Amino acid sequence: MISGEWPAEDATVLRYGLRRLLLSLPIVVVCLGGGWTGLWFAFRDDGIGAGWIPLAMLMAMGVGGLILFVTRWRARRWVTAFDSTGFWWMRGKEAALIRWNSLAGAGMYWARTSNRAVFTVELCPHGEMDRDDPLLWKFVRDTEPLRPGLLRYRIDVGDSHKAYEKAFVRWAPELWFGRKEQPMSYPGQPDETGHRERTAERSDTVAHAPLVFDAVGIGDTVVVQRGMILVYRRLGVALALVALCGWAVWALVPEHGHGAGAVVRQVIAAVLVLSAGWALVMIARGARMDYGRRVTMDADGVHIVRRGRSVTLPWDSLAGVGIYEAPPLRTLELCPKDEIDRDDPLLWQWVRDTEPLRPGLPRLRHRVSIWPAGGRHAVAAGCRRWAPHIWFGGERMPSGYQGDRDRKGHRSRGRDTGGPVASPAPRHPEDARPPHDLDDPGVTPAP
C-alpha cells in the first residue's frame, strides 16, 4: 500500500466495484423477490403454517440477496487504473501500485462451464512481493508461476474482461501473454489463515504506527465521553431486537397450529424468546453502567462524573497520556506515576493491567473510551495544551488491545473486605455536581 500517489491524468480508469454491483443486480432482484414472496406467505392466514420449510428457504434466499447487495454496495468505490507507471488498485482513499518494471508477465486466465464463465487477470512479479499488503493480499495466489518460486496476483474481473484486456495491451504490450484457458477449479482462495498468523507476528515485532490528529479549536473544557450516547445506541439495539423477536414468534406460532411441526415451531419460538431475553438483560446492564456518566478534561486534569458523584485525575499524578486506536475503538490512555486504587467505584471499570510506558512505572492504568469517536481530535488538542510534558501521542494498535475489566477480581476483593470496596474521596468533594456544564460556551463537545 502506498500513500500520496495517484494515477496520471491520462490513465485508463475502470470502476471495478461499480461494474460488479451493476452485474449482480439481476441476481439480487431475483433473490430479494424470493425473500419477499416468503414473507408474504408467512403473513397470510395464521402465520407460516405447514409450508414453513419452503418458505424458510425463500426467506434464506432473500437474506442471501440482501447480503450480496450490501457487500457489492460497500465495494462500489473500488477502482482499478492503468498508466505508464503500472497497475493501480484503489479502495476509497487508499491505493496500491504494482509497477510494470516489477512484473515478468501479465495475462488473463479463463474457464467456462455450461452456465458460468470466470475471467481473472494474472500479474506475475519477477521477484519477491509483499504477500500481506493490506490492499492486495486477497489477490495473492501460490500457484504455478512463470518461473519456479514466484507468487502471483489473481484478480477476478468477471464480464469486464474485454476492457481489462484492452488496457493491458495499451499500457504493457511487452508483458501481455494473452488469454489461456484453465480448468474450472483454478481460481483458488486467498491464504486467510496464513495472513492472520503473519500479520499477528508482525504486529508483535513492528513498532505501532503513529496517529495523526487534525488541528481543532477547543474551549476551556473538552468532552472525552458522553455516556448517554452509548445508552441511546443500546436502546436502539434493544428496540430492534424486540421487534424482530416479536415478529418471529408471531410467524412461528400460528393461532391454530397442531402436530409435530407446530411443536417444533413453538420450541424454536421459545428459544428465540429466551435468547432475546438474555440479550436484553445484558443490554440493560450495560446501559445502567453508562447512564449519567460523563468524562471531561480541562487544565486541572480528567474529570469523571456519574450520577452526581465525581472524581478527578490531576495531570500531575500521571506519567503519560495518549490515545490508542483500533477502529472503531479509540481510547484515552492515562498512565499513573504511582499505584492506583483498582477498585474505585467510579474508575474500576477502566483499569487495565498492561505493559507500562517505561520500567519502574506501575502496570495498572486507566483506559477510557472516547465517544463519539470523532472527538479524538479535540481530546488530542486538549492533551497537547494542558499536559504537553506527558503527551506521548497516538498509536494504532492491534484489534482486541482494549482488554476487559476485571469484574470477577473486583467482586472477590469486595467480598474479602466485607462489602463494597471503598475509595479515596474525590479531589473536589464539596462539588457533587458535574465539574463543568456542557451548556457553557467554554466547553468543547465531541463532534
pLDDT at 110: 92
What's CA 377's distance to the chain center, in Å? 20
83-116 confidence digits (pLDDT tens) = 999 999 998 878 899 999 999 899 999 998 767 7
The winner for highest mean pLDDT among 206-210, 402-406, 426-430 is: 402-406
Work out the pLDDT band at 4, boundaries 50, 70, 90.
low
Q: Is residue 243 scored above 60 in pLDDT?
A: yes
pLDDT at 208: 60
- Cα–Cα distances (Å) from 329 to 373, 396, 401, in that order, read 7, 10, 10
Q: Is residue 1 scored above 60 in pLDDT?
A: no
CA 266/CA 262 separation, integer angstroms: 6
Work out the pLDDT band at 444, boundaries 50, 70, 90.
low
Give the DSSP letter of residue 218. -
The winner for highest mean pLDDT among 122-131, 227-236, 296-305 is: 296-305
19-57 confidence digits (pLDDT tens) = 889 988 999 999 888 888 876 766 565 555 545 667 677
As a residue count, the chain comes to: 447
The whole-number average pLDDT for the span 437-447 is 47
pLDDT at 423: 41
pLDDT at 426: 41
All 3 cell numbers of residue 171? 499500457
Q: Is residue 435 scored above 60 in pLDDT?
A: no
Give the DSSP letter of residue 2. B
186: exposed, middle or buried (Cβ count in 10 Å: 0-12, 13-18, 19+): middle
Q: What is the mean pLDDT of the chain?
A: 82
- Percent of the chain scoring above 90 in pLDDT: 34
Which H, E and C letters describe 106-136, residue by residue?
Answer: EEEEEEECCCCEEEEEEEEECCCCCCCCCCC
More confident residue, 59 or 167: 167
Please give the radius of gyration of the chain, using alpha carbons only, rounded to the nearest integer.
29
pLDDT at 367: 93
257: exposed, middle or buried (Cβ count in 10 Å: 0-12, 13-18, 19+): middle
CA 201/CA 140 separation, integer angstroms: 19
CA 120/CA 158 separation, integer angstroms: 7
Helices 259-290 and 227-252: crossing angle in degrees, nearest 10, is 170
**In which order are the strands placed within the sheet that holds 103-112?**
140-141, 152-156, 117-125, 103-112, 176-181
The pTM assigned to this predicted structure is 0.52
Residue 148: count of CB within 10 angstroms of its CB: 6
pLDDT at 255: 61
What's CA 285's distance to the chain center, in Å? 24
Q: Where are the strands (E) in 10-125, listed by range?
A: 12-14, 78-82, 86-91, 94-99, 103-112, 117-125
pLDDT at 212: 87
Name the nearest CA neighbour of 56 among 258, 273, 265, 243. Answer: 265
